[in-house]
């Protein structure tokens, strides 16, 4: 498992990682399509929502080549 926090990626092959999920997170993950490999949670801030979530989508794809 790899986790991206800010602009750093943590890999459970190199160090322990714990993810604390809310009930909503668990429900969202349970309903993900089989081919989906990323789940993102972000602050409720308008900067992430503008232009149909453009900024958060770009952030999610910044490190695709490292994953």
pLDDT tens track for 34-62: 999 899 988 888 888 888 899 999 988 88
**Does residue 39 contact residue 29 with C-beta atoms inside 8 Å?**
yes
Query: pLDDT value at position 67?
Result: 65
Residue 14, phi-psi category: left (phi > 0), alpha (psi -120 to 50), beta (remainder): alpha
Structure tokens at 65: 């080549």
**CA nearest to 40, candidates 54, 52, 55, 56:** 56
pLDDT tens track for 10-35: 999 999 999 999 999 999 999 999 99
Query: pLDDT value at position 50?
Result: 86
Alpha-carbon dihedral of residues 30, 31, 36, 41, nearest 10 degrees?
-70
């Amino acid at each position: 498992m790899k986790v991206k926090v800010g602009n750093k990626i943590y890999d459970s092959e190199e160090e322990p990682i714990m993810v604390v999920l809310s009930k909503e997170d668990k429900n969202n993950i349970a309903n993900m399509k089989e081919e989906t490999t990323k789940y993102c949670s972000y602050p409720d801030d308008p900067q992430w929502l503008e232009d149909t979530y453009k900024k958060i989508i770009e952030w999610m794809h910044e490190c695709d080549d490292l994953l």
